[in-house]
Amino acid sequence: QVQLIESGGGLVQVGGSMKLSCVASGRAFSTYHRAWFRQAPGKEREFVAVIHWTGGSTRYADSVKGRFTISRDNAKNTVYLQMNSLKPEDTAVYSCAADRGVTLYREARNYDYWGQGTQVTVSS
């Protein structure tokens, strides 16, 4: 059974930092691109960041560029999202996803596997 399980969410104050993790099991995801998406209440799911399966290339949403960093450890089948300088508008459920496409997609429809998500709340 393929599973993506996120952890690391919670409550943080404005300007604080938080690191999310997503571990994959049931399949060798070392050759899958891995991404983070988020969905705030009443809003559509939006792309946050993606990393190539080699770790050699990344893409970020403009809203998080310079504040968030995506990384991966293929030996642990895990992808991370380091979030710094958090803002109230970063409050959302963050979900990880995996895909083995030919490019780094920003569209959720291109991803084959999804986690259940972890809540991140930034309080002011």
The whole-number pLDDT of residue 94 equals 98
The whole-number pLDDT of residue 78 equals 96
Residues of the chain with pLDDT under 70: none
Residue owning tokens 């991803």: 111
Q: CB within 8 A of 16, min separation 6: which ones?
A: 86, 122
The whole-number pLDDT of residue 30 equals 86
The whole-number pLDDT of residue 29 equals 86
> How close are the terminal C-alpha atoms of the chain, in Å?
40
The whole-number pLDDT of residue 27 equals 77
The whole-number pLDDT of residue 76 equals 93
